[in-house]
Amino acid sequence: MKVNPLRLSKCFRNMTCGFAMLIALAIAWAQQPSQTQNPEETQHILSRLDQTAAEFRTAKADFAWDQYHKVVDEHDFQKGTISFRRVGNELQMAADITDPQPPKYVLYTDSKVQVYSTKVDEVDTYNTGKDRATIESFLVLGFGGSGNDMLKSFDVKYMGHDKIDSTDTVKLELLPKSDKARNTFDHIWLWIDPSLGVSLQQQFFEPQSGDYRLAKYSNIKLNQRIPDSVFKLKTTPKTKVLPH
């Protein structure tokens, strides 16, 4: 089935498939030549992202996601682990959401996203089709993606240095070039660890509403072997797979 941005937005707000919402944004992205003004600091950190991307094979991290809804002044929190790997030209991603219970699983393989909710024992599937390359570049934004690819879709602003826990990071602001993308998130902040070339924190701001999504990553491990079982849904014999 085709990706429906409204459906994904509802799913995202219920905190059952945050990455599916990001895919809706990725599909809207316009690939345009960069017109960004790049101070020396920005060029340096983007070059560091290029280096990490060139060497990238796998990544694994713990995450804490916070979806804030301003109108009701509420936070929805999720915690778990996320894994990436490249198999040939294919990118795979697996997110295990273990808190709150019952767990949920998000898997991206074979150009499709599968969201498994253990509470209802159902798998929902979103096909990415011709948007695969754009989606993959967005999924690894600041987390294995290159600085050069970032400049194709964003104006990038250097915002100085900032501490995340005890780590000195470089903070970047990303302004989407596409009008459709800005209707979903009008700006994004990334906190990049220059020693690893990955983001320790990401914040996505929705236009006008005051809502945002904050993602924090810790215990990051790059280019270590990840078992094949991580990239398979942990379903049961009775799991219902919804039509797609």
Q: Please write the tens of the pLDDT for every residue from 189-234.
A: 999 999 999 999 999 999 989 999 999 999 999 999 999 999 999 8
Does 167 have pLDDT greater than 70?
A: yes
Report the percentage of the chain scoring pLDDT > 90.
Answer: 60
Place of tokens 């992202």: 49
pLDDT of residue 136: 72
In this prediction, residues 104-122 reach a mean pLDDT of: 93
In this prediction, residues 158-167 reach a mean pLDDT of: 94
CA pair distance 186, 132, nearest whole angstrom:
23
pLDDT of residue 177: 86
β 122-127/58-69 pair status = unpaired
**Is 238 a member of any domain?**
no
pLDDT of residue 181: 73
**Is 134 a member of any domain?**
yes
- Split at pLDDT 50, 70, 90, the class of 132 is confident
CA pair distance 68, 77, nearest whole angstrom:
9
DSSP 229: G
Does 121 have pLDDT greater than 90?
A: yes
Does 179 have pLDDT greater than 50?
A: yes
**Is 115 a member of any domain?**
yes
**Is 242 a member of any domain?**
no
Exposure pattern of 16-45 as b/e (b: 16+ CB <10 Å)?
Answer: bbbbbbbbbbbbbbeeeeeebebeeebeeb
pTM above 0.85, yes or no: no
**Three-class DSSP labels, 105-155:** EEEEECCEEEEEECCCCEEEEEECHHHHHHHHHHHCCCCCCCHHHHHHHEE
Give the residue from 127, 18, 118 showing the smallest Cα distance to 76.
18
CA pair distance 211, 206, nearest whole angstrom:
5
**Is 244 a member of any domain?**
no
Mean pLDDT value across the chain: 84
Give 119: exposed, middle or buried? Use CB within 10 Å, 0-12, 13-18, 19+.
exposed
Report the domain count for the chain.
1
**Is 236 a member of any domain?**
no
Torsion of CA 79, 211, 202, 60, to 10 degrees: 30
Contact present, 104 and 19 (Cβ < 8 Å): no
- Split at pLDDT 50, 70, 90, the class of 160 is very high
pLDDT of residue 10: 44
Does 66 have pLDDT greater than 80?
A: yes
Residue 93, domain CATH: 2.50.20.10
- Split at pLDDT 50, 70, 90, the class of 36 is very low
In this prediction, residues 32-55 reach a mean pLDDT of: 77
**Domain coverage including residue 49:** 5-29+40-230
- Nearest 5°: CA angle at 212, between 206 and 213? 120
Q: What are phi and psi of 8, to 5 degrees?
A: -65, -35
**Is 240 a member of any domain?**
no
Please tell me which of 30-39, 76-85, 128-137 the model is most confident about, judged by mean pLDDT.
76-85
pLDDT of residue 214: 95
**Is 235 a member of any domain?**
no
CA pair distance 9, 31, nearest whole angstrom:
22
In this prediction, residues 130-145 reach a mean pLDDT of: 73
